[in-house]
Chains A and B, each alone.
Chain A
């Protein structure tokens, strides 16, 4: 119908018929004066196009309009260069200026490739998971001997010499260096620093097990030592889950002995306790936002308090509480494991128990990761959910069925999710979640209930998805959008408390 309308609107086209070749439509075409074998042998499953025009040119124009409507869009830009491929890592390593091998192969083969990279004098960015702890220790010790970094395994993000590896945000060059055992934790810090006008000198990922007793923080220590001597770095930031106590002490001593100021965020650690134990030059942050704000101040940026003040968060929470929309349990569905952990920490500090598939406290472990209970935060990037499926940062749609299932639950009042931007991530994560949000609102409307939907947007102004565009998509779909996960957790806590506080599972 749309095609018929398009063609009929072409200048000097007198009559047009575009439809399936049913007998009735063929009669109409015959009435237009057409005849012939093609017409007679056409079946109802064929498309028939009949045009009558005043001039040949008009006929050509109409034909062209039809072709354009029917042809597929061109998927590959003409002239686009095919990426060069190499048969072996050694062949690629022989390239002039090659310095880092980014390895993303199944875990069982990853150690072998990493060894080959180190043997060829390359630093290693090991994106793969399922590498044994034994292999990790061996590789890192080998790298340490050769003066080469082994970032990973399971390393999600790094920015080395301005080059983003893994899920990396586009950041400005700057004076703050980061070492992080957490991909999304690093991304959150980089995104807030970008918002505060700061750039990054280097961002070195270590992999989540680097600060365990077995690995002993080999890559973290190499990274901090590198930042200490790096002329571009003025401030050091260290982000991790709480390390093994022995590793922690050696790291803090190392930072204390350095010449540059340092900020440490050991997620889940009580910072007052940390300050009591260390009165040196290391500053402790209780959350990722605070780590970025302190680093910004140390780097000479404008002194600024929280990104969202108490008053601003109260202003957001009050109307929700007044409408009664947030009545019911809170459910957080995260791509980023560290962000999930941070939310649990923040709410726990406010006296709200959060159940999870990755809880701090075994008491709060969900019996079934597929079924939430009470207030809950789910790490959808956890192995349980990604086994045989893409990570939700690559394919946010993996999270949508669970999101809609939570929306269908009439004891849920608040849904929170993260949207992570950067190279390597989905090209429109906000778009996918916006569709889910609209569907969730439709479901709730049918149920006669409201729903509070909060999005944590982690990205920089340079990210390829477009930070402003992604924010607008989420807002248009009805989300409260915050660029700090800490603030989102705080807002959730305020809404829960306004609705009467916690309830047991």
Chain B
């Protein structure tokens, strides 16, 4: 068996037993990249040399010798970090993000930085300023986004595991569409220091892996309070792998009617309903719950996230780093730098957010959206009084064709209709493979938990994974 096909746990075991070396694991991953990357295009940068050094130097640590791809919006000192934007094409961070610092301490090997929708704004990775990534299950289709590069790299075995970031579904949606596991932790669980901000009150880093167990193992390394991030929570970090008992007897699983809507792909709906039945078969109690403000989540999300983005992206002005247009005076330098450096979707969102925050519109848009956010959080709080976790489809449909939605931003935004609410509420949620469409495309089951209760989310996901084989399927590339 090829080493690159393995997950963290299996690779760890082989290295620890001395049966394989980190160098061999890396060679397998790099070989796989050589074989398929021209078709998948998951990576913006393959850090071959640095990976070699890291593999040679790796010793001890829970991730020592494990190649983990990192989405290219997390700062890696000395290694280009582009956010898949022309404006940061030449940017080499002088500092290390907290998550990658923790990976370094754990001994990881960085095979490369993965592609994303520019500044994590998008649901298909088609908004990358460089090139689109393909879905390994069907190269004509998108891998989802914005962590499309990380999800595709995991699905195509171009790494052992990966990190993504999730602002409105950017881990879970591509994980679902690529048939892998993706966990968005509770807001505040993982430090955002060094994560290039899209929308600060939503952004959260999480694992994209081949198994639930691997997601738990990565969480053990990256979770925890960081004094450099005021929004990271000073909350005790459990051993997430210890929660994976396989036993979910008597657990209450809520199913919200608002997540089974008209217009969604009937194949996706039936696949997810099957998966929920399977959970019931494992001894869980399935209950109906309601999240009544779900309808407003996409609108609220796009007002708040773009408002924050309009401010977060103001620093790309050509003065300090990144692209700078040559111009005769300041205003011209600003406008030409930003006009040339940002892609269409980023510009659209900056304009939307600038508008929503403008004097005279702030109350109608930003403030009302904040109120909706509170209502959506309260929906979850209410539901979690009755149930331990909530199960829903991750997406309304399987991977769509490239170019299918690029002309209609609203349609594209609706790909995140089942994931946005979770970010508004700040709760944790995972997407796991739960079957395939007739056309052979993966379908994702989303399991949502209470704030800081990743343990139950992982436990349910793991129990399902033990009972099924979906996660073992691999695309034929």
Do chains A and B interact in one complex?
A: no
Chain A residues near B (Cβ < 8 Å): none
